[in-house]
């Protein structure tokens, strides 16, 4: 294994890559490399100053520590949204590309199998995969969400260099299996009150993190317009509709009092018990 050396780490990942077929995936990979190359060329970072690792739906670049991070940040914030618009303008709906990005710094070594190792690289990968960054991308109209590590923010971004406005970055805490990581998200933080610790906002449990959970048409609107009475929120769903003249009825623990008038045509007289016992002489 080589000695660890200081590098700027750039990670870019395609949203919903695994949802595409093989032809679309091959196309998206080509477009990802083209977009990355153009952004780095705009930053003045040629191929002699960087090493690339292919991760299928993502690209990892180790950039020479002498390459200016300010130029890299300006290029990412301006060139990538521009390149994405150009790519997506000519692509079918199923081949649209949206990207998550991370810029970090640290020490990385290359092992005997040409693999990259280092805790700083691990932290960058966890930021890239964070539910919060996935949620942020879903709210980005330009198709690009960028997060930087705390070291990059403190060393570069907070100094408000031209083209890298510090006010546009917001401090966030990203939950990982090794504890929280402090990072800085470019643009608005996803809506308050959403749980980003375990999965992205709207993601179905067990989902990829890129797809919102399915919702029945009109269900959310009905819930807002017709909320359940306060006393019965969280109660079991009601059972079959019965016509009851007089008495009280209990359904598996739910309680109904007073005369009940249904429309099914059936009729039940007196007290009725289903699952629990009512007040009265019957059981």
Tokens representing 254 are 């739910």
SS3 282: coil
Q: In the chain, where are the structural domains located?
A: 5-186, 236-283
Segment 119-176, tens digit of pLDDT:
999 999 999 999 999 999 999 999 999 999 999 999 999 999 999 999 999 999 998 8
Segment 212-258, tens digit of pLDDT:
333 334 444 444 454 444 444 344 444 444 444 445 444 444 444 44
The hierarchical CATH code for the domain 5-186 is 3.30.70.1230
Would the pTM count as exceeding 0.85?
no
Please count the CA atoms within 13 angstroms of the CA of 2 that sit on its side-chain side. 12
The whole-angstrom separation of Cα 129 and Cα 115 is 19
Q: φ and ψ at 246, to 5 degrees?
A: 85, 165
Question: How far is C-alpha 258 from the geometric centre of its chain's CA atoms?
Answer: 49
Q: What is the CA radius of gyration of the chain?
A: 28
The whole-angstrom separation of Cα 244 and Cα 272 is 9
């Amino acid at each position: 294994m080589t000695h660890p050396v200081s590098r700027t780490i750039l990670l870019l990942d395609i949203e919903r890559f695994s949802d595409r077929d093989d032809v679309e995936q091959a196309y998206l990979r080509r477009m990802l490399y083209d977009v990355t190359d153009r952004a780095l060329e705009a930053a003045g970072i040629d191929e002699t100053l960087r090493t690339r690792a292919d991760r299928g739906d993502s690209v990892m670049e180790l950039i020479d520590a002498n390459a200016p991070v300010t130029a890299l940040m300006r290029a990412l914030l301006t060139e990538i949204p521009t390149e994405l618009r150009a790519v997506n303008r000519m692509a079918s709906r199923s081949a649209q590309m949206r990207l998550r990005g991370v810029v970090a710094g640290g020490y990385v070594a290359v092992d005997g199998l040409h693999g990259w190792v280092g805790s700083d690289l691990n932290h960058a990968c966890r930021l890239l995969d964070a539910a919060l960054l996935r949620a942020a991308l879903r709210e980005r109209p330009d198709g690009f969400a960028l997060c930087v590590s705390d070291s990059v923010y403190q060393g570069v971004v907070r100094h408000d260099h031209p083209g890298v406005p510090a006010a546009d970055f917001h401090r966030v805490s990203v939950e990982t299996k090794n504890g929280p990581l402090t990072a800085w998200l470019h643009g608005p933080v996803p809506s308050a009150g959403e749980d980003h610790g375990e999965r992205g906002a709207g993601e179905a449990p067990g989902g990829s993190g890129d797809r919102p959970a399915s919702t029945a048409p009109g269900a959310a609107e009905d819930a807002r317009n017709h909320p359940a009475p306060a006393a019965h929120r969280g109660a079991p769903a009601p059972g079959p509709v019965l016509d009851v003249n007089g008495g009280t009825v209990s359904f598996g623990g739910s309680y109904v009092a007073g005369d009940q008038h249904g429309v099914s045509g059936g009729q039940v007289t007196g007290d009725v018990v289903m699952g629990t016992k009512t007040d009265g002489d019957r059981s």
